Structure 1
Amino acid sequence: MTRRPLSVLALALVLVVVACRREPPPPPAPAGPTAAEIEAARQDSIARVQAQRDSVAAAEAARERAAQAERERVHRELLASLEAMVHFDYDESAITPQAEGVLRPKADILRANPSVQVTVQGHADERGSTEYNLALASRRADAVRQFFTAFGLDDGRFVTVSFGEERPLVDESNEGAWAQNRRAEFVITGDGGELTAPR
């Protein structure tokens, strides 16, 4: 019988030791970021946001520059079309088919830009008297003005001037020079600011 109480006692001791054994403590929670790490992350976040803002602003500025360049290109083209000369046959003031091809786009541009006013300058070659050439150049300028008014443009937008033979484009006495000198030129005198392309 002494064995049994000893066995029971040993078993009880084992149970007590096992029951009282503690679980090892859990590992400590990881330490949070330090103040320096938090500040570095904040600065990094600010830098990323600023870089994104800068990128958006740069893209917007590039779009605006491209749009402005396009507006300037269109303006130059429209102005060149408005200022393009037309030529006349010898001793004639009738609008030729070639001149009509130059004048029709002008009429469209002028219709799209109602504040633009134009001075039409008539010219002649050196053949003929000064008085005759002044009258012929005046008829040429008037023919151009009438062409525009026939397209519904207000007559008040046009001023005609005759220079006769006084302002030759080519200062020579041959058929090529005379053909260049028989012309009407166009000077924008009203609001020629930013021109609008016809639709």
Structure 2
Amino acid sequence: MKFTFLRYAIYAALTYGLMELMRYDGMTTTDDVKFAESSLVEQAQNIFLILSLISLTFTRGYQAIKYILILILGLFFIREQDAFLDSAIAEHSWKFICIIFASLVGYKIFQIRKTIVSEIEEFIKTSSSGILFLGFTTLLIFSRMFGRKKFWKVVEGTEDYTRNVKNAAEECTELFGYFLILIGIIEFYVYVSSKIRDNKNISLAE
């Protein structure tokens, strides 16, 4: 109980810190276009993705769910590096890297395909699945819809909408989506670790 309350308190504190990071980023950026590729918000998105992938790497059990999440988040991470990869390697090189990564992880998932259905049925009963679903919904739907040009044209009542406001809306909600996904991954790690520990205790008791 205390551990759960502590996690929630940390999540709340990090949420506040996240909002301050967004404010600081908007306040200190001197470029005409704010919340661009090199912004603190964009860098924080990458950090959350890396932390999520690291957490999954250390998660034991539930291999099918684990590798499916690694596949999805790994593709997100590669896609976020598109500008860097285009300049460092070649234009659209991120697409080929995605194909290679997806092939490697997809092959691993294929090897354990028999466990996918049973793991998903159990996983969707956990709180972490709900948090992850909310995170992906925020990332893939809400942030995209909230950052639409036509939405901000309507809000501002002009065809010449404020680009920085539109960017702030989209990138900051996208960042919060990645943050929710990270929380979901952490809760998944805690759930799996707790279940493995409980199973060991039952075995010892028997």
TM-score, length-normalised on structure 2?
Answer: 0.22
Query: Which is helix-richer, 1 or 2?
Result: 2
**Which structure would you say has the larger Rg?**
1
TM-score, normalization by structure 1: 0.23
Which structure shows the bigger proportion of residues in strand conformation?
1
